[in-house]
Every structure is written in structure tokens, then in C-alpha cells.
Amino acid sequence: MRRANRQSCDIIQAALADGNCVISSQVVQEFLNVATRKFAEPLSVDDCLVYLNSVLALLCQIFASIPLYKRTLELRKQYNYSLYDSLVIAAALEAQCTLLYSEDLQDWQKIGELRIVNPFNGRNNQ
């Protein structure tokens, strides 16, 4: 298993064990899209359903709302992230997260109380 895959699995296992981690419905949508279309070995719909029920449903706590979209647009304007990246950030802020793991956003950036960290860059993230 590639190092990044192992780290991803470790993060997810810790999230499930700790019970203090959340994802948004958009993260669920992005995962399902990537898992069924872009993985080296795409997951079947049945495999996605198993993962949805056993992992994603347990972590998904932030759902689309008009206030979330408003905050998303404000963040997009202020930080110049894409709409979808801004939506992930807005959801993390709504959940009052202090740490957001992402390999796509600016590593170590702080937005309010939220720190964005790339878990694959080798830096100690805890």
C-alpha cells in the first residue's frame, strides 16, 4: 500500500475511533465520484454502498444550507479558492473544526481558528 494510502487509512481509522472528526456532504459526493471513476481500480457501486454505510455516514455531519452557501461565497471572495474548496472550508468552520486535512489547499494556512494541513507533506500535523 502506498504511503499516502496508508496515511489516509490511519486518519480515517483515528477519526472513527475518536468520534471528534466530521466531513461534509460535499466530501461524501466527491469521494463517491472519485472512487467510482478515478481510482486506479474503481470501486463498484456495491463497494461504495458498504463504505458509505460503514465510514462516510458515521462522519458526515454538515449538510448543504443557504447559510453554508453564503459563507462559502464569502470565503471564495476573500481567499480566492474555488467554489468547491470554499465549500469544504465553510463546512469545517461551521463544524467548529480546528484542523482541516487537505492536499489541495494551501498547507498550514489559518482561516479563523481553522488550520489547513496537508497530511502527506511529512510535517508533524498534530
Q: Write down the domain spans for the chain.
A: 3-117
Tell me what percent of the residues of the chain surpass a pLDDT of 70.
Answer: 95
Does 82 score more than 90 pLDDT? yes
Stated length of the chain: 126
* Number of Cβ atoms within 10 Å of the Cβ of 12: 16
Does 117 score more than 70 pLDDT? yes
Tell me how far apart the alpha carbons of residues 13 and 120 are, in angstroms, rounded to a whole number: 16
Tell me how far apart the alpha carbons of residues 91 and 22 are, in angstroms, rounded to a whole number: 9
CB within 8 Å of 94: residues ≥ 6 apart: 62, 67, 68, 71
The whole-model pTM stands at 0.90
Give the SS3 label for residue 116.
strand
Tell me the pLDDT tens digit for each residue of 19-51: 999 999 999 999 999 999 999 999 999 999 999
Measured in degrees and rounded to the nearest 5, phi and psi for residue 110 equal -115, 130
Looking at domain 3-117, its CATH class is alpha beta
